[in-house]
């Protein structure tokens, strides 16, 4: 996972719970790292999972809830850092449909060694969209948080439900979204 995600995770903890809490979480995660995370660096996915478990222990909430809140926070930071991807849109639906074919394509050019999830879209009704997510990381709770963050950003509440199933021998997850305005 790219360093930028670890940097945002640090910001998320520091802004909400303070520097000391982040230091404790980092220590408890026992990553064996001496240097800070740098944005263009690539670090083991295992580090993210360990930090999330450590944060869940420290904050007394579930790892799922850490990932959801972190996802919501992350979208705000990504939108701030990359206004070029969000500025052309005023509704989450057309914006979300650019993540696979534009945003994550650019991310893979910008960050060497990035691995982004695979999305396919099913667009049947005007106020609905299904995103089928597939990734070796299975970060469904992070995804849910990111989608909530997109809804907040565009000020359009998004109702979501998920279905995990196997497609061609690979686990995927449908995020069925309904845009409430």
User: Is the CB of 2 or the CB of 93 nearer to ligand HEM?
Assistant: 2
Would you count residue 4 as binding ligand HEM (CB under 6 A)? yes
Query: Which residues have CB under 8 Å from 157's CB, separation 6+?
Result: 151, 179, 180, 181
Query: What is the x/- site pattern for ligand HEM, positions 104-123, by CB under 6 A?
Result: x--x---x--xxxx------
Q: What is the 3-state secondary structure (H, E, C) of 69-95?
A: HHHHHHHHHHHHHCHHHHCCCCCHHHH
Would you count residue 1 as binding ligand HEM (CB under 6 A)? yes
User: Is the CB of 7 or the CB of 57 nearer to ligand HEM?
Assistant: 7
CA 119 and chain centroid, separation: 13
- Positive or negative, the CA dihedral 55, 59, 72, 7 is negative
Residues that bind ligand HEM (CB under 6 A): 1-2, 4-5, 75, 78-79, 82, 85, 96, 99, 103-104, 107, 111, 114-117, 135, 137, 139, 142-143, 146-147, 150
């Amino acid at each position: 996972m790219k360093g930028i995600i670890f940097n945002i995770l640090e910001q998320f903890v520091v802004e909400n719970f303070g520097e000391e809490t982040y230091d404790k979480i980092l220590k408890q995660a026992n990553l064996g790292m001496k240097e800070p995370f740098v944005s263009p660096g690539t670090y083991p996915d295992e580090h993210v999972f360990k930090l999330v478990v450590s944060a869940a222990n420290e904050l007394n909430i579930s790892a799922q809830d850490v990932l959801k809140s972190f996802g919501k926070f992350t979208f705000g930071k990504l939108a701030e850092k990359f206004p070029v991807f969000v500025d052309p849109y005023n509704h989450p639906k057309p914006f979300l449909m650019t993540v696979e074919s534009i945003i994550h394509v650019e991310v893979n050019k910008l960050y060497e060694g990035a691995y982004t999830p695979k999305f396919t879209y099913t667009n049947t009704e005007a106020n609905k969209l299904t995103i089928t997510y597939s990734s070796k990381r299975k970060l469904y709770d992070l995804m849910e948080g990111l989608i909530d963050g997109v809804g907040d950003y565009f000020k359009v509440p998004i109702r979501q439900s998920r279905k995990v199933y196997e497609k061609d021998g690979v686990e995927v997850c449908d995020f069925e979204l309904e845009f409430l305005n």
